[in-house]
Chains A and B, each alone.
Chain A
Amino acid sequence: GESVGLHLPTLSVQEGDNSIINCAYSNSASDYFIWYKQESGKGPQFIIDIRSNMDKRQGQRVTVLLNKTVKHLSLQIAATQPGDSAVYFCAEMIIRWATSGTYKYIFGTGTRLKVLA
């Protein structure tokens, strides 16, 4: 069935280093891919998204890369800081405007990022 999965459940990174969080997806029809950050005791927070017709998008200290050939998504965080410690989720969004005018979201299982001082 359709699914979004993460390769690494936990990633430990030294403060100041770059982090790369990976995600595999299975649905070729996805229109958007989104990364969320969830800190302890809080709800997931939108970080960045990318349309399916793009292969790279940059934000502030974050870059998302999309490789549709191998159905792979990654989130790169530059100069990782202690405040980046959280669980990161990838999600894919499928827009069905042609049919019901609604859309479908599929979340991955999450990767925990630990920033070491």
Chain B
Amino acid sequence: DAGVIQSPRHEVTEMGQEVTLRCKPISGHDYLFWYRQTMMRGLELLIYFNNNVPIDDSGMPEDRFSAKMPNASFSTLKIQPSEPRDSAVYFCASSFRQGMTFGSGTRLTVV
């Protein structure tokens, strides 16, 4: 199993541009999570899905953030328009029951 696969690993973009982060969860996992990690705020849950359905998006900072899970093997997190304060490492994780498996993350830098 290749684990949770995220792309890209690094993204540098200019303020105002649209950014799309991608995630392929582990096959058979029924939960998918998007986290953001910064030095100041640590790990923050943005949104999570159960069987492709968004369950809790209360962590999504604002309307500029949106996430989709069109099928069990793919999810996207989109930021439009991006701002410098969105710079962080974004992790996708999937799980079946209590153990979460994280991807390697996408380091986003908005300049």
Contacts and interface: CB of A to CB of B under 8 A. Distances in A.
A82 to B, nearest CB: 22
Given A100-B55, A101-B50, A102-B55, A93 B98 contact: yes
A43 B42 contact: no
* A contacts with B: majority SS: strand
Interface of A: 31-32, 34, 36, 41-46, 49, 89, 93, 100-105, 107-110
Given A100-B55, A105-B33, A43 B98 contact: no
Nearest to B102: A43
Q: Among the interface residues B56, B100, B105, which one has the most CB atoms of the partner chain A within 10 A?
A: B100
Interface of B: 4, 31, 33, 42-43, 45, 50, 55-56, 91, 93, 98-105
A34 B50 contact: no
Contacts of B102: 43-45
A44 B102 CA distance: 6
A102 B50 contact: yes
Given A42-B104, A43-B104, A100-B55, A89 B99 contact: no
B85 to A, nearest CB: 20
Contacts of B93: 43-44
B98 A49 contact: yes
B93 to A, nearest CB: 7
A85 B98 CA distance: 24
A33 B103 CA distance: 21
18 contacts: A32-B98, A36-B100, A42-B104, A42-B105, A43-B4, A43-B93, A43-B102, A43-B103, A44-B102, A45-B102, A46-B100, A93-B98, A101-B50, A102-B50, A102-B56, A103-B98, A107-B42, A109-B42
